[in-house]
Structure 1
């Protein structure tokens, strides 16, 4: 990642059970603690147990909209915790009606989603070798994590990869808020000859005017990620023409319904979308996948590679990848079943 190296992922797993024996699953992952945002899995666990679950226990999943409205009224922020709980409610609904979750979100508009792979070592030769190895298996979309080393080195990486991989590769970059406005403009202009599909979050999340300045000053389309977590932020970015693409993440926005609202704002503003990730297991990845399958505005693919990076998973039937795509899941709800042995093996109480 642009903000550091991560060697372990902590997961909040939410399990809701009905009086009829159904179980709904949800998941929240925060990369490296309070690094990507203010939340951690520890705070999400506390907020879920102490403040959110009392608003759900005893209610019917069929009252989902009312439950969520009460959650947002009584608990401010804490979107990762809310997203995990909302996902578990949706999973219950899908299982109760024997429908895949995408059917509850409007139905499929695609059968699979193109997968982007992140290159983040900063070692040019190693990244070329990694990309070439993956291209031999059908992968063609690559996103370079930038904004940590000198901008000149990031430009060298982009140039070297374009030369080595040729025109078949779709190259993107993500600075994870790593540049100021002058550096972003200068660096992206130097990258323009290498046909970059988009530049994600080049400046700090709070600097919407700076994001707009970068977007006006370069030909590479700018994507907003950290700057767009809520529908209100999406509207602000859209009205200022600060980005031409949005990166959508269920957990940063509080779940499916809020993310659908953001996608609707994007559609109204002529902004295309992409689905990011926080390196989830197959539980969280399945949730993101159902969202991507059912959201027409997601035209730039996804980076739902969490299960491919993790050394192990916690489900019996992990999500499936093929030839540069992640494939649809067709079972009821999320379409994945927990491996109880794995859950117990990796469980920690705090």
Structure 2
């Protein structure tokens, strides 16, 4: 079997509510759907987050086309090695999501050719469903509380809240509002996205302790592992590394520096599903648990990662997904809004390969939306964050 063509379709799916964080805000998600045609008629599906933009993802796909077309999709290790070495991506360190989308599409082809879901190709089911958190993206306390109530009603067990605002008092008020909205038993995970200094991080976490925190994600820079380890050693809440550990090489450094309790791993930033499994294995060898980070993904990429998570023991925490924000999806019955989650979990697809199919009408609708607005409408906009109370920290 040989790959005969790469087809790429950028799509833009609006959010039901804006996503706001310490340095920006966006009103929807852009992804690039990737389809690999083969000479035997099997089509593999993949999906790339538009990181840092759809235009760059499309350019990367064009640049690797000469290495992908003509390749045997069963020889996944060989193909990715060619992209890394001949395509020189080895020197980029954090790979483009475009490459991860090609790799996932190859796995989809293999699964379809074998008549097996991906979970069976990655070790078999360790669990039948995968847990995800509820993303509370609202900036003001009243809406935060309402979103927490919505998360509870939908059966989620973990809420994820962005912090790192210009005022520590605002962050504390929002965490308190979330606890008020979800009650005493749900987990609260906060993420500062590197916005704090070490002193501010320690002061913030101490102030938030009465509200019960599950994990504190990347409170300080991920580029200074000594500082991260310093903060970790002085906090009474487990530290989750994210920006510090987007690739296996970074994860190894975090482990060596004792800079985190839990590591966030990401197949789109580290070249594919096989590397997601490798990342988890690396952390398991160090006695550490992991969870999946997301750059923003629709049903294809979400389903692909769900297979790997389900086959890997040390994914012990709720993973990142965008169900709380998305108004729709481009596949049926998987991902999308919270109605497709059961108690915060997604069942592992049972069909061959990734196990989801594109909805042609919705793909066409959201491809048209992308053509009309491009990345501009749905990429992070810093000024919008300033108007909602989230801004660059003064500390």
TM-score by length of 1: 0.92
1:299-318 equivalences under 5 Å are: 299-306=316-323, 308-318=324-334
Higher normalized contact order (CA 8 Å, seq sep 6+, divided by chain length): 2
CA-atom RMSD in angstroms: 1.8
Shift of 1:142: 0.5
Shift of 1:99: 0.8
- Aligned partner (choices 34, 56, 61) of residue 43 of structure 1: 56
Q: How many pairs were matched up?
A: 341
8 Å CA contact 2:201, 2:220 repeated in 1:
yes
Shift of 1:278: 2.4
8 Å CA contact 1:44, 1:80 repeated in 2:
yes
Query: Does residue 97 of the first structure (1) align with residue 114 of the second (2)?
Result: yes
Partner secondary structure for residue 251 of structure 1: coil
- Aligned partner (choices 256, 259, 263) of residue 276 of structure 2: 259
Cα gap change, 1:132 to 1:8, in 2 (>3 Å): closer
* Corresponding residue for residue 70 of structure 1: 82
Shift of 1:164: 4.5
Unaligned runs of 5+ in 2: 1-19, 375-395
* Corresponding residue for residue 200 of structure 1: 217
* Corresponding residue for residue 143 of structure 2: 126
Query: Does residue 57 of the first structure (1) align with residue 66 of the second (2)?
Result: no
8 Å CA contact 2:157, 2:343 repeated in 1:
no
* Corresponding residue for residue 213 of structure 1: 230
* Corresponding residue for residue 243 of structure 2: 226
8 Å CA contact 1:317, 1:337 repeated in 2:
no
Q: Hey, what's the Cα distance between the residues in 1 that align with 2:211 and 2:293?
A: 23
Partner secondary structure for residue 309 of structure 1: coil
1:51-200 equivalences under 5 Å are: 52-73=64-85, 74-76=87-89, 77=92, 78-200=95-217
Which runs of structure 1 show a deviation greater than 6 angstroms over 4 or more consecutive aligned residues?
Answer: none
8 Å CA contact 1:184, 1:203 repeated in 2:
yes
Q: Hey, what's the Cα distance between the residues in 2 that align with 1:126 and 1:163?
A: 12
Cα gap change, 1:67 to 1:183, in 2 (>3 Å): same
Moved more, 115-124 or 171-180: 115-124
Q: Hey, what's the Cα distance between the residues in 2 that align with 1:298 and 1:289?
A: 11
Q: Hey, what's the Cα distance between the residues in 1 that align with 2:287 and 2:210?
A: 25
Partner secondary structure for residue 45 of structure 2: strand
Shift of 1:106: 1.3
Moved more, 335-344 or 158-167: 158-167
Shift of 1:226: 1.1
Shift of 1:316: 3.5
Unaligned runs of 5+ in 1: 34-38
